[in-house]
Structure 1
Amino acid sequence: MNFVFDLDGTICFNGQPISEKLLNALERLVDQEGHKVIFASARSIRDLLPVLHERFHKYPMIGGNGSMVANHGNIISTVNFQHDTLKEIIQLIDTYHVSYLIDSDWNYSYTGSDTHPIFNSLDPQKRAKNVPLDQLQSFIKILMLTSSNMKEVEEKLKKMEIVVHTHRGEGVLDISPKGIDKWSGLQQLGIKEGEYIAFGNDINDISMFQHALHSVMIGENLQLSPFASENVILSEDVENIIVEKLEELGTMYRTNIDNRSTV
């Protein structure tokens, strides 16, 4: 069985790398239970790597909410904004004085402050370069951080043929090309509907929850909740609870596979 994990707020907390306790549990899924582990994040592939121990760097990864996909340590797929759409977005950025993080396939352009929460997770290992907007080779994912009128920006974006996720707690608009989400990223890896277990915590996990065989929501999210098979409440003991859930589901779905193979 495939096990698909969002990172931030799901198995990665407070901007820190995934704990060794959870990494060991993921390895047991693979080495002892025979399952496959996939990471699916809003982060770019570049910013996924620092929160994962290097022994996981060749695992399948979906970055930018599906706009980039990597496997065996190589980026195998990227999706860019269409030229006309990108032109409209850049016009909004200029008109409404938007600060942003725009990702290319590796480098990025960042105009936010060094006190913004996103800054701490932005290329901490200096794997890439922060370049001016006109020097980006491609435009894969856009985060709008602040604006003179974010409400108007959001209204105009939602009239475009793009995917917009609104992170209310952070006041951030998360923008991907049309038709791009975590489920589209999974399809790029050859994963089919009902062939995976999904773990997530936010609205950008809805698409992968919708097509999962079983889905586990970490914490509370009213928009994601209708698509979750079950819920793990955030607490001081959340990592131990997740480890127990992985052991339970790993055994359950290994048993199901074993039973089917004997028919």
Structure 2
Amino acid sequence: MNYVFDVDGTLSFNGTSISAEITAGLKVLEKHGHHLIFASARPIRDLLPIVPEFRHNLLIGANGAIVSQADTIKVMTPIAIPDRDYLKTLITHYNLEYVVDGDWNYAAHVSPDNLITKQLDSGHLAHNVPLEQITTAIKVILLGMADQQLEKIVRLVTDHTNLELVQHVGEGNLDLTAQNINKANTLALLGIHDYIAFGNDMNDVKMLSQAATSFWVDSKSELLEQAGSFARTIVAPNQVAAVIRQLG
């Protein structure tokens, strides 16, 4: 069986590592012949350091925009050039904090106290380059926006681009990828239709909705009320390892 796992807030709760107990459970699944897939909002560059023991598995990064399998990296669909240029205009005009991911390097302007800094190239595998040097953008995150500004930016992006949007409730962040790029669609493009999925965030909703069985990890309490509409089972963070062991 294919098992698809989101990472942050699903398997990792500190932004830097996965516990030994959860890792052991994952290895048992693999030992029993199951295929483990890791599907994250992180680009491959930032996914590799947190799943070092599974680096040769199928990794889906940037919410589906890029994949890695057996150390071969492939961009699924980059952000179209007009949409990329429009986002650059918004960033400049509204002085927005951002992370713009290329196929490997990135451009970032982020407040030092933002939690994303713990995840951003923690393995020192890439370079933070000037924004104009990112010619192929696979994902853009706009961060730290107040509610009113977030609403305005969402409206502008919706009206002027064809981008896929994921708005993070209560965080003031907006994830942007090319049209129709998300974890579920990338799994389908890779021929993976039958799978069990674990997730915890808005960027997991479509994947969980299309899974044969789905588990919602309740690490974001503000989303719990919605979870029942797209996930079959609710799991507390401290129960994740036990649930994985039971599946093995």
TM-score under structure 1 length normalisation:
0.87
**Helix, strand or coil: the match of 1:131?**
coil
Preserved CA contact (<8 Å) 2:75 2:138? no
Number of residues of Structure 1 aligned to a counterpart in Structure 2: 241
**Could you tell me which residue of structure 2 aligns to residue 133 of structure 1?**
131
**Could you tell me which residue of structure 1 aligns to residue 168 of structure 2?**
167
- Equivalents in 2 of 1:169, 1:25: separation in Å? 32
For 1:154-233, list aligned pairs within 5 A: 154-159=154-159, 160-192=161-193, 195-219=194-218, 220=221, 221=223, 222-233=225-236
Among all aligned residue pairs of Structure 1 and Structure 2, give the percentage whose two residues are the same amino acid. 37
- Equivalents in 2 of 1:92, 1:137: separation in Å? 17
Structure 1 residues 79-137: Cα deviation after superposition (integer angstroms, max 9, x where no partner): 21112222222221122111100000100000112221111110012100000011113
1:242 aligns with 2:221: no
Q: How many angstroms does 1:147 deviate by? A: 5.0
Larger CA Rg, structure 1 vs 2: 1
Structure 1 residues 29-58: Cα deviation after superposition (integer angstroms, max 9, x where no partner): 011x21110000000111011112x32110
Preserved CA contact (<8 Å) 1:37 1:59? yes
**Could you tell me which residue of structure 2 aligns to residue 42 of structure 1?**
41
Select between 216-225 and 34-43 the one with higher mean Cα deviation.
216-225
Structure 1 residues 207-234: Cα deviation after superposition (integer angstroms, max 9, x where no partner): 1112110000000423443110110124
- Runs of 4+ displaced beyond 6 Å: none
For 1:22-101, list aligned pairs within 5 A: 22-31=22-31, 33-52=32-51, 54-101=52-99
- Equivalents in 1 of 2:72, 2:24: separation in Å? 24
Q: How many angstroms does 1:247 deviate by? A: 2.7
Q: What are structure 1's unaligned runs of at least 5 residues?
A: 251-263
The 1:224–1:102 alpha-carbon spacing in structure 2 relative to 1, beyond 3 Å, is farther
Preserved CA contact (<8 Å) 2:65 2:138? yes
**Could you tell me which residue of structure 2 aligns to residue 9 of structure 1?**
9
Q: How many angstroms does 1:189 deviate by? A: 2.9
State the Cα RMSD in Å.
Answer: 1.5
Q: 2:180 is aligned with what amino acid?
A: G
- Equivalents in 1 of 2:144, 2:91: separation in Å? 10
